[in-house]
Amino acid sequence: MTPALPRTETDYRSLTTAQQDEFDRLMEQADTAGPGDAYHQAMTEAALTAGLPVPASRDIARCSCLNDAGGCGCGAIFDSHALGVVVTATNAPNRNLSELQCPTCGHDHPRPITD
């Protein structure tokens, strides 16, 4: 019997309302974190809140397709350094988080930044 591989993503929509609220709070905290370890601490707690093992990058994202116009509604939460991630919008000034598509959406219907 082959051991199961660790789960590398989860669906935001499958989280309870309390988990979604806590995840959103932690991601906002990471987005506005200043220098130091606050960013990675918020990311670590957000991954654990979503039920994911903390990736080596200590950097996760929720697929931008969930809320973006033209998105498919995907709610994947994933390692933002995974192969196939597509940046759909860079971070705003004084913010840390860019908008990203998960590898599946990045492959199936990429919406990369255009000039």
Cα 90 to its chain centre, rounded Å, is 14
Q: Between 17-31 and 38-49, two packed helices, what is the crossing angle to 10 degrees?
A: 160
Residue 37: its pLDDT value, please? Answer: 95
Per residue in 33-62, pLDDT tens? 998 899 999 999 999 999 999 999 999 999
Residue 47: its pLDDT value, please? Answer: 97
Tokens for 22, please give them.
Answer: 């806590």
Residue 2: its pLDDT value, please? Answer: 55
Per residue in 70-95, pLDDT tens? 789 999 999 999 999 999 999 888 89
Residue 35: its pLDDT value, please? Answer: 86
Q: Phi first, then psi: what are they for 12, rounded to 5°? A: -55, -40
Per residue in 90-114, pLDDT tens? 988 889 999 999 999 999 999 888 6
Distance between terminal CA atoms of the chain? 50
Pick from 74, 41, 37, 34: which is nearest to 60 by CA? 41
Cα 9 to its chain centre, rounded Å, is 9
